[in-house]
Amino acid sequence: MSNHETLLDRFLKYVKIDTQAVHDMPQMPSSKGQLELAKIVIEDLKQAGVQDIKLTDDGYLLGTIPSNIPEDNPAYGKVPVVGFLSHFDTAAECSGNNVKPQVIKNYNGKTITYPDNSEIFLTTEDDLHLKDCIGHTIITASGKTLLGADDKAGIAAIVEMSHRFRDHPEKLHGKIRIVIIPDEEIAVGAAKLNLKEFGADVAYTVDGEWLGEIDVESFNGFKGKVSVQGVAAFPGYGKGVYLNATKVLSNFVSLMSEKHWPENCEARQSIWWVDGFKGEVDKAEMTIFLRSFDLEDIEEHKKLLNNIKETLLQKYAKAKIDIAIESSYKNYKYELDKDKRIVEYAEDAVKRAGVNPHQSSIRGGNDSCHLCFAGLLSTNVFAGFRKMHSLKEWTSFQVIEKSAEVITELACVWAEKTMCGKRCAHIVHS
C-alpha cells in the first residue's frame, strides 16, 4: 500500500502549478509553468531513488530506475527496457491558472458542487462512473479552472511507482525509463522526443481516462488552415469592389455540415471543428481540425471542404480561398497489432491490481500515436480522470492509486515473462 497522504499531497501539489499549453508558441515548453512543475517532480523522483535524472532545455524530464534482477537469474540483462510516459501540460482550451483543488473525502453519492461557480455541478447521472466511487476521495477544481488530472494523475502514478520499487526491492524488474514530456496537449511533445535518448524497448503512456482502461486505438488527427483573401475598399464607395474576407470565411463555417461537429457525434463517428478564427476586411483565417478512426473518412472530409470552397468561389468571384491540411497523428492500432504482447502484458498487470481490464478506442490522440509510428511500440493505460479539458474535471484518489499499482505490476510482468522465455518478438538484444 502507498502512503495515502503522500501520494495525495503530491498530486495536489502538481495541479496547483499552472501548466496550460499555448498554441503556436516558438519555444518549448509553450508555458513556463511546465518547467516549474518539472523542477518539483525532479525532487520527488530523487527521493524515490530514481537515477540519471535529466531535464532538457526544451522541457523533457528523463530518469532511470535500474534493473534489480540478480546476475545469477536467467533473465539478467535480457528484460526489455520498459518506458513510462506522462505529460506536464494541461489543455490549451481551459484555464489552468490558480487551480484550487476541492477534496471530498468519503464521497456519499450526492451532487457535487463547485465553490467558485454555482452554475455547474456534478451528479451520478452526469457521470455514471461517480456511482462506482462512493466512499472514495474525490477531487475537483473550484469551478473556475480545469483540475489538471489529465495528466498530473499520470505524473503522480509514475512517481508513486518509483517509490514503491524503492520500498519493495523484492519486486524484480528490468531497467525502467521514465519521461515526462511538455506540450502533449498541442501534439508536439512526443513528436519531438529523442527516442534514442529515452532508450526504451517498449513503452506505456500513463494518460488513459478511467479504471482498467487500456487504449488500443486512436483517432487519426489532422490540422489545417483555411484562409480567405478579400478586397479592401472604402465602404462608402465599395459597390462592385469591396469584398469582406471575414464574411466569406463565416459563410465557409456555416456550410460545414452540422452532423460532423463534436456535439453531434459519438462512438466511431468522425468529427471536425473550428478554432482560432480571426478576420479583417482583406484577409481572414481559421484553424480547422479533422478527426476519424479511418483515413477514408478524413479524405471524405477534405472533399467536403473543397466542395465548400468551390461553392463560395462561384458566389464570391473576387475571393481567394486556400485550404492546407496536414497530419498531426495517426491511429496507432495497426502498429500496435504487430506485437499483441504489449496489450496482453498490460491486461495481466491490470488483473493483478484486482481490476477488470477493458480495451478502449479513444476519440482523441495520445503520445502512443507518435511513439508507435516512430518505431517504439506503445499503448496507453489509465491514469484516472473524468471530464478532462473542462471545468467539471474530476478524479478519484483511489483510481490514481490503482494506476500506480498497475504500472508497478506491469514492469514486473515484463521481467517475469522474460524469465519464462516469453520475450517480445520484435526486440533483438545484442
Q: Which residues contact 254 (CB under 8 A, 6 or more apart)?
A: none
- Give the confidence band of 215 by pLDDT, cuts at 50, 70, 90: very high
pLDDT at residue 86 greater than cutoff 60: yes
- Give the confidence band of 74 by pLDDT, cuts at 50, 70, 90: confident
Mean per-residue pLDDT for 123-152?
97
- 89 is known as an active-site residue: yes
Mean per-residue pLDDT for 48-62?
97
Q: What is the pLDDT of residues 140-191, one digit of tens each?
A: 999 999 999 999 999 999 999 999 999 999 999 999 999 999 999 998 898 8
Residues of the chain with CATH 3.40.630.10: 4-218+331-419
How high is the pLDDT of residue 262?
Answer: 97
Closest by CA to 372, choosing from 34, 85, 175, is 85
Mean per-residue pLDDT for 49-61?
97
Residues of the chain with CATH 3.30.70.360: 220-328
pLDDT at residue 4 greater than cutoff 90: no
pLDDT at residue 425 greater than cutoff 70: no
- In this prediction the pTM is 0.84
Cα 209 to Cα 49, 58, 128, 205, 408, distances in angstroms: 28, 27, 14, 11, 18
Closest by CA to 291, choosing from 373, 209, 197, 187, is 187
pLDDT at residue 68 greater than cutoff 50: yes
- 201 is known as an active-site residue: no
How high is the pLDDT of residue 62?
Answer: 99
How high is the pLDDT of residue 3?
Answer: 53
C-alpha cell recorded at residue 396:
478519484
Q: What is the pLDDT of residues 10-35, one digit of tens each?
A: 999 999 999 999 998 999 999 999 99
Residue of 183, 184, 217, 347 marked catalytic: 184
220-328 belongs to CATH 3.30.70.360:
yes
Residue of 18, 89, 150, 285 marked catalytic: 89
Q: What is the pLDDT of residues 297-342, one digit of tens each?
A: 999 999 999 999 999 999 999 999 999 999 988 899 989 999 999 9
Closest by CA to 389, choosing from 112, 94, 16, 22, is 94
CATH superfamily of 4-218+331-419: Zn peptidases (3.40.630.10)
The DSSP line for 354-371 is T---EEEE-SS--HHHHH
How high is the pLDDT of residue 5?
Answer: 58
